[in-house]
Amino acid sequence: MRLRRKPGITEALKEFAGLVAAPRPGGGWSGEFGRPAPLHVELGVGKGTFISELAAREPGINFVGIEAQPEVLFQAAKRVTARDVANIRLLHFDAGGIVDIFAPGEVRRLYINFCDPWPKKRHAKRRLTSGLFLAKYRVIMAPGGELFFKTDNAELFAFSLEEFATAGLEVRDVTFDLPAGLDGDVMTEYEMRFRTLGVKINRCEVVFP
């Protein structure tokens, strides 16, 4: 669901200079962080719960969170600021152009959590796990790079597993009912809400050759 644009949101995001970054044509994100480190990217940061917790746990990783809706990005920026973690940059950007802002082989891991399922068949190419997007990820992923995927939508998960197989990607640790509190797993705000409703969480890890 797309939120109505709030007046002044672009100016409000300027309050988070240094955290909300500009796109970097061609990549080179180690320069943005001022250090070389593995780069992990979350597509669709929501309110920032997931990426801020990950960054706090893994200070040796550079994290970039991409969000297409500026109102949502503003909420994420507030949360990241409250956590006081320095190894995150947030980006107002459409994931469809992802190959333009990361260099080939620059990304070590992608996180896709509870993305829009685009349930209508004619919108299948818009799904972030469609073959169209997987081809883009293949360009920017480091050899052996990983995609960690979570969704509450069983139909999207089945579609995604088929797309991963068609693309020749290795799929591991597939679960259709992710246990709560799994070691090392971080919940998003959506996941917390779904679990209170008894909704099962689907998850898998995908490896790029």
In order of their start, the domains of the chain are: 9-207 (3.40.50.150)
Please report the pLDDT score of residue 52 as a whole number.
96
Identify the segments of the chain with pLDDT beneath 70: 1-7, 183
Please report the pLDDT score of residue 3 as a whole number.
43
Question: How would you classify the pairing of strands 141-151 and 20-21?
Answer: unpaired
Please report the pLDDT score of residue 9 as a whole number.
86
Please report the pLDDT score of residue 1 as a whole number.
41
Residue among 84, 94, 100, 116 flagged as catalytic: 116
96 DSSP 8-state letter = G
Could you list the beta-strand ranges (E) of the chain: 20-21, 39-43, 62-67, 88-92, 107-113, 141-151, 170-175, 202-207
CB atoms within 10 A of CB 168: 10
Annotated catalytic residue 116: yes
Please report the pLDDT score of residue 201 as a whole number.
95
Please report the pLDDT score of residue 183 as a whole number.
65
Please report the pLDDT score of residue 196 as a whole number.
87
Distance CA 174, CA 189 (A): 22
